Structure 1
């Protein structure tokens, strides 16, 4: 009766092997693309040409490096389960947006690096759960504005870098809760010093001068004057920015009301917006080339699994007939 027992054992072993393979792997030692250090709990996935974050990152990981890849978007659940993470490096990717809540599970995060991406805006509350964060870098992106209160929960922050963006102003009180801040980079932004909105930043720089390093480097658009030197007389205009909600001037309302439908030009609809109108959405978690290879190997493993199951069943039937 050893034949059926051996066949059953073979089925169990093959099932376990296939399930393990189908789940994929992150670390090189398991056939994945990243280097994992069991002692330091570090996972290095940098410079792998990744277009999506590898699945199955060990939950005990404390440092995760994803810099120098081709990530253009993140799944909202990309970092869920990584509560031990203290360091996350997303530098030098192609990120254009950050989904709301993507960092909410990183309650122990100490350093977050987002330099050299293509971020144009930040969702409101994107950093609210990162109450232990001490270092945040957003240099060399395309940020045109900051949502009100975006840094309010970062009371432990010591370093904030937002150099080389498209910022023209910051909301009133933007830096008011970061009492431990000792370094900030504000330079290489087109600060609009003709508008009254700049006065909060100008006054804040003067107040923190000597206690926060690099703070005096912020210059007005064109480099004609330092932001901290701007006076109320110079910043006298009430400016309107694209991301600011304001009332529409009466003259514009009157003009629109008196216009005939025939006079209104037909505006082209961008293909991206048209796709969104139809309900089309690109997948949040696109597979990388190594992941595709693992998927192919998974299918091959599945086929082999069924072939061996069939062979084992036939073997059992043959054995029973002879018995």
Structure 2
């Protein structure tokens, strides 16, 4: 009677072991390459030279480390079965792009590390489902721009690293929804200015890094950031005193309205000839004066003509000269003949 019961129990045990083996195929204890900790629900696949994400990562994994590998791309469903993740590290790989929707199932994610990759751009809406995230690291990539609204859904975000990229501009309102943000790193990019009101909604900010950008302090467009930084410095905000104008210029927050107004001078677009040009022409030799083209209509007005066809053409001018010379020759010959006749009559 006990035989069937023991057989059934043994079958259950073997089935459970097989399922565990299948689910844990990535772990070293089961012959995989990753280190798994059942107690903490963490999987460490870092520094394994991986070119693809291992299969069969346990679905209840809370922490997944994939940094220091050779990942150059991600399948768009790479993490779709890992909706329990709160920590994901993909730093120090070779990622050049992110497929749209790759993070859409990570609804519990708190930290995302994408630093030290080769990302040149971000898909629109790439972070929209990460509504619980508090830490986002995008430093040391090749980002040149950011999509509009890329951080709009990250209302719980507290730390944002965008430093050491190639950002040339920021979209208007890019930080408007980040009211919980405490630390913002924008240093070592190619930013010359920020949009008016870019930092107005960062009510919780306590540290912002801006140095290492070629800030253009010459126009009054820059006064917004200077005034904001001055105000935040007075409130005890750190990390702003080393932000300078251009390369080695004065501190951004020290730029005054008077200085900006003086420097922000645009060329005069009047039709008058600048005095400097007149002086230069007057002091130059005739051979040094450049030949300036004169519009045909001005030349015609100078000659007193109203329409272009009033000016004689080249053949017409030649015919006029020939006719004049012929008339003069006829008058000369006629005069000579008259004088000859008069002289002959006197002798007779």
TM-score by length of 2: 0.59
Q: 1:78 offset after TM fit, Å? A: 1.1
Q: Which has the higher contact order (CA 8 A, sep 6+)?
A: 1
Corresponding residue of 2:121 = 97
Q: 1:58 offset after TM fit, Å? A: 1.8
DSSP-derived class of the 2:225 partner: helix
Corresponding residue of 2:239 = 214
Corresponding residue of 1:130 = 154
1:79 paired with 2:100, answer no
Choose which of 135, 159, 180 in structure 1 pairs with 2:204: 180
Q: Distance in 2 between matches of 1:192 and 1:46?
A: 37
Corresponding residue of 1:43 = 64
CA deviation map 1:63-100 (0-9, x unaligned): 00000000000011110100010000000000000000
Q: Distance in 2 between matches of 1:111 and 1:129?
A: 13
Q: 1:233 offset after TM fit, Å? A: 2.4
Choose which of 139, 142, 151 in structure 1 pairs with 2:166: 142
TM-score by length of 1: 0.64
Q: Is the 8 A contact 2:168 2:191 kept in 1?
A: yes
| Rg comparison, structure with higher value | 2
Q: Distance in 2 between matches of 1:51 and 1:34?
A: 19
Q: Distance in 1 between matches of 2:134 and 2:215?
A: 29
Q: 1:132-171 residue pairs with structure 2 within 5 A?
A: 132-171=156-195
Q: Is the 8 A contact 1:34 1:45 kept in 2?
A: no
Structure 2 CA distance for partners of 1:96 and 1:28, relative to 1, 3 Å: farther
Q: Distance in 1 between matches of 2:27 and 2:195?
A: 43
Q: Distance in 2 between matches of 1:205 and 1:87?
A: 28
CA deviation map 1:262-283 (0-9, x unaligned): xxxxxxxxxxxxxxxxxxxxxx
Q: Distance in 1 between matches of 2:112 and 2:88?
A: 5
CA deviation map 1:187-221 (0-9, x unaligned): 00000010211100000011000421112221000
Q: Is the 8 A contact 2:82 2:105 kept in 1?
A: no
Q: Is the 8 A contact 1:34 1:43 kept in 2?
A: no
1:230 paired with 2:251, answer no
Structure 2 CA distance for partners of 1:76 and 1:132, relative to 1, 3 Å: same
Q: Distance in 2 between matches of 1:32 and 1:153?
A: 42
Structure 2 CA distance for partners of 1:196 and 1:70, relative to 1, 3 Å: same
